């Protein structure tokens, strides 16, 4: 499943963006020289791309639908550890609001 999602990350992001496995099933996308609004736009495009994935169930009939919750944090300067902690917690805040969503310090929830 991670290979499918990784492919969707590449398809939804730009050539200059960097995708990496962060922990377990968590992936990180780094958007160099991108302000918050631009990063949020790219993240939404990536989330939409991921949600188009339909994967066959291994060893059974049917398929698996993939969803994603994304956290976005932008910083031109500041404490890297604080930014990573904020980014790491953003998907959990999104999950608390909805099964799939996005969250960031300046993001208003979808209505």
Q: DSSP letter at 17? A: -
CA distance 12 to 27: 14
The CATH class of the 2-103 domain is: alpha beta
Q: What sign for the dihedral angle of Cα 87, 105, 48, 92?
A: positive
pTM of the model as a whole: 0.66
Q: Check whether 108 has a pLDDT greater than 60.
A: no
Q: Check whether 107 has a pLDDT greater than 70.
A: no
Q: Check whether 20 has a pLDDT greater than 50.
A: yes
Give the mean pLDDT of the chain: 76
User: Which region holds residue 84: left if phi is over 0, alpha if psi is between -120 and 50, else beta?
Assistant: alpha
Please, are residues 11 and 1 in contact by the beta-carbon 8 Å criterion?
A: no
Domain ranges of the chain: 2-103
């Amino acid at each position: 499943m991670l290979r499918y999602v990784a492919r969707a990350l590449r398809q939804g992001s730009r050539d200059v963006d960097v995708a990496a496995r962060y922990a377990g099933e968590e992936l990180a996308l780094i958007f160099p020289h991108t302000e918050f609004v631009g990063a949020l736009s790219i993240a939404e495009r990536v989330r939409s791309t991921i949600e188009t994935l339909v994967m066959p169930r291994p060893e059974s009939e049917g398929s698996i639908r993939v969803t994603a919750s994304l956290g976005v944090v932008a910083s031109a300067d500041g404490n890297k550890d604080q930014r990573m902690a904020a980014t790491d917690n953003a998907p959990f805040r999104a999950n608390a609001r909805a099964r799939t969503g996005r969250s960031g310090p300046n993001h208003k929830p979808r209505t």
